[in-house]
Structure 1
Amino acid sequence: MYQLTFSLQEFLSQYWQKQPTIIKGGFANFQDPITAEELAGLTMEEEVDSRFVSNKDNVWQAEHGPFSEDKFADLGESHWSFIVQAANHWHAGAAQLVEPFKSMPQWLFDDLMISYSVKGGGVGPHIDQYDVFIIQGQGKRHWRVGAKDVGQYKEVSNHSALRQIESFEAIIDDVLEPGDILYIPPGFPHDGYAMEPSLSYSVGFRSPKEQELISNFADYVLAHDFGDTHLHKPDLATQSNFGAISSSDLASLTQMLQDNLADPIRLKDFMGCMLSQSRHQLDIVQPEPVWSAEDIAIHLESGQIIEKVAGLRALFHEDEPHLLYINGEVIKLTAAMGELAALLSGSDSLSTDAFSQPVESDAIALITDLVNKGYWFIDEE
């Protein structure tokens, strides 16, 4: 199990979205949870989001996976990288790197990205709009981070698949070794390249943009057929100019919008549904044949566990802990199912040991439904 050598709470207070920093030895005696060969194997899978980037002789090339074994046959010894997004969804060992950060909001966590680079490999100078903890694994990587200055940095077009910027003056210029952590808040330019064959693990946190909130709320309103009414104004009067929008009409139309946004239940359900959906594909497989409630009960009573699909989000609002949002769905639990609600949202597995009382039939029924949807699974191997 991985454990931070510093207080995450103190770190958040001092650095979070304030300034970049390097934490030397952020993980003591760090051991890579995955090999370069295993990571390369993931890039060959259709479901996995992967990239290959090379910059030999300063000529940038980039392409998306999946790749075949031939891709890695004759790459040379320098200036290339391959990258896997949401590696925590596909590799159980890599997913353990997320555990030390689970005292932060689940809805804010995005994914664990892993990159393998040979000497000189990297993706070039760029700016991200999310918070990231970059953990150095095997090898060494040289990092430069610049100051945040909106509008100062010009984009360059070295390749259509890469959003890079011109070089920048560094406020951090250092080499990361195994176990070191580089934290970068949104908007700070950065550039890292491997000094030798190197693995890097990026634990990313991303909040939705205003545009996403507005767009997704519009989709939510349409999907649920809310507000399917026109403006009703039986006291309409004539006006002197055909093209004028009267102040009263503007106020009425604005009120129609505000009424949708002012409904607290609608907003809470929308936020719960939206935030519980991962940005990355999940390894959801519905079992065949389906499980019966009786089989689920026997499985739990025998002391075995039921595991949550890696990356699946189960969220609740602080003032309504029995109303869960799982992968965009609303799941209502009774007050008597409080322990189950806590386990579904805060734990990666279910077992009878976690319950203080025998698991009731309604809880078994819900667990059965979640297993048959592929959200939780039983490893029968």
Structure 2
Amino acid sequence: MYQFNFNFEEFLAEYWQKKPTIIKGGFKNFVDPISPDELAGLAMEDEVDSRYIAQHDDEWDVKHGPLTFDDVPEDHWSFIVQAANHWHEGAAQLITPFRQLPNWLMDDLMISYSTPGGGVGPHIDQYDVFITQGSGKRHWRVGPKREDYEEEFRHPALRQIKSFEPIIDDVLEPGDILYIPPGFPHDGYAIETSMSFSVGFRSPKKQELLSSFADHVIANEIGDVHYHNPDLPARQCSGAILDAERQGLENMLRSLLDHPQLMKDWMGEHLSNNRHELDLIAAEPQWENSEVREFLTQPEVLKRLNGLRAFYYPETPTVAYIHGERFTLPSECEQVIPLLCDHEEVTGEMLGEMIEHPAVIDFLTQLINQGYWYPAE
């Protein structure tokens, strides 16, 4: 199990979304959770999001997966697997120390394998990232946050920028962690064949929230009401939109936001949707309620699917938002959903007397049959 070798609360107070930093020995005695061959195997799968990036002098080559590794050059190339924590149990364990941050901000674990000189060039990301150096060494440069960096179009699949003056210029060795907040330019290349493990946290954009909320309103047939004004005045300027009318239309829009439960349900469903594919397999054969209850009376473990997004509001702990769906339990079962959402594994002992409640067993049976939770090996 991976554990931080530093005080995470102090890190948050000094660096989180404020400034980049390198934490030397952030993980003590770090060992790669996945081998290069296993990572390459994932990159060859259709369901897995992967990329190959190579540099030849000033020319860049990018291929999207599924990848093959025939005729690759000797150096100056990398391949990247997104959401590796969804597909590999060992890689998923690297996420656990980062659970001190909200799960709804968690995006994925991206793993890159690089030959000497391999990298993706200078660029800017709009999310928080913790880059843990695995085997090998990698040289990193990070620049100051500014608005005037000029893009350089070396390849249509790469959003690179021109060079920058670094405020961090250092070599990462196994177990070192580089933290980069949104908006800081950075560039890393492998000094020797190496593995890098990037845990990303991505906050939603205003545009995404507005688009998602509009979809939710339309899908649920909310606000299907026309503008109404029984006090409409006569006018000489028929082309004018009077201020009172503009305000009335604005109020119609604002009234959609003035429904706390509607907002909470939409937000829970929206945040529980996943940007990346999951290794989701429905149970076959399907479980019966009696089998789930019998399972939970044994010293067995139910594990949440890696990468599954499952949330709740503390003030309404009987409602869960899981993979874009909303689930509700009776009021007397309020400890069940927090257990499932806060922990990666749950046992009958943790659930206690709740394993006798028919609604809880029915809920768990549904989650298992959908592949959201499964018996741990």
The residue identity in structure 2 corresponding to 1:372 is: N
- Quick check: 1:86 aligned with 2:83? yes
**What stretches of structure 2 of length at least 5 have no aligned partner?**
none
Deviation for aligned residue 1:357: 2.8
Structure 1 segments (4+ residues) deviating >3 Å = none
> Whole-Å Cα distance in 2 between the matches of residues 104 and 168 of structure 1?
30
Aligned to 2:291: 295
> Whole-Å Cα distance in 1 between the matches of residues 195 and 371 of structure 2?
31
Alignment of 1:192-341 (within 5 A): 192-341=188-337
Q: Secondary structure at the match of 1:102?
A: helix
- Quick check: 1:149 aligned with 2:146? yes
> Whole-Å Cα distance in 2 between the matches of residues 280 and 77 of structure 1?
31
Deviation for aligned residue 1:356: 3.4
Give aligned-pair identity as a percent.
Answer: 55
The residue identity in structure 1 corresponding to 2:43 is: T
- Listed one character per residue, the Cα deviations across residues 226-278 of structure 1 (whole Å, up to 9, x for unaligned) are 00010112222221112100111111111100100111111111111111111
- Quick check: 1:110 aligned with 2:107? yes
Deviation for aligned residue 1:358: 5.3
> Whole-Å Cα distance in 1 between the matches of residues 318 and 16 of structure 2?
31
CA RMSD of aligned residues (A): 1.2
Deviation for aligned residue 1:132: 0.4
The residue identity in structure 1 corresponding to 2:97 is: P
Equivalent residue for 1:359, pick from 341, 352, 355: 355
Aligned to 1:53: 53
The residue identity in structure 2 corresponding to 1:324 is: A
> Whole-Å Cα distance in 1 between the matches of residues 244 and 43 of structure 2?
59
Aligned to 1:172: 168
Deviation for aligned residue 1:363: 0.9
> Whole-Å Cα distance in 2 between the matches of residues 221 and 355 of structure 1?
36
Aligned to 2:345: 349
Deviation for aligned residue 1:74: 2.6
Aligned to 1:135: 132
> Whole-Å Cα distance in 2 between the matches of residues 106 and 40 of structure 1?
28
> Whole-Å Cα distance in 1 between the matches of residues 85 and 146 of structure 2?
32
Deviation for aligned residue 1:22: 0.3
The answer on whether the counterparts of 2:53 and 2:60 sit within 8 Å (CA) in structure 1 is: yes
- Listed one character per residue, the Cα deviations across residues 145-204 of structure 1 (whole Å, up to 9, x for unaligned) are 000001x11111111111100011101000000000000000000000000110000010
Structure 1 stretch displaced more, 157-166 or 54-63: 54-63
Deviation for aligned residue 1:372: 1.3
The residue identity in structure 2 corresponding to 1:57 is: D
> How many corresponding residue pairs?
376
Structure 1 stretch displaced more, 289-298 or 165-174: 289-298
The residue identity in structure 2 corresponding to 1:63 is: K
The answer on whether the counterparts of 1:144 and 1:172 sit within 8 Å (CA) in structure 2 is: yes
The answer on whether the counterparts of 1:56 and 1:78 sit within 8 Å (CA) in structure 2 is: no
Alignment of 1:369-380 (within 5 A): 369-378=366-375
Q: Secondary structure at the match of 1:241?
A: coil
- Listed one character per residue, the Cα deviations across residues 312-359 of structure 1 (whole Å, up to 9, x for unaligned) are 111111322221111111111223223311221111122112233351
The answer on whether the counterparts of 1:42 and 1:48 sit within 8 Å (CA) in structure 2 is: yes
Q: Secondary structure at the match of 1:129?
A: coil
**What stretches of structure 1 of length at least 5 have no aligned partner?**
none
Q: Secondary structure at the match of 2:209?
A: helix
Aligned to 2:181: 185
Q: Secondary structure at the match of 2:318?
A: strand
The answer on whether the counterparts of 2:354 and 2:360 sit within 8 Å (CA) in structure 1 is: no
> Whole-Å Cα distance in 2 between the matches of residues 119 and 93 of structure 1?
25
> Whole-Å Cα distance in 1 between the matches of residues 359 and 238 of structure 2?
62
Q: How does the TM-score come out when normalised to structure 2?
A: 0.97
Aligned to 1:13: 13
- Listed one character per residue, the Cα deviations across residues 284-335 of structure 1 (whole Å, up to 9, x for unaligned) are 1112221110111112222222221111111111322221111111111223
> Whole-Å Cα distance in 2 between the matches of residues 143 and 17 of structure 1?
19
Taking a change above 3 Å as real, the CA distance of residues 31 and 83 of structure 1, as seen in their structure-2 partners, is: same
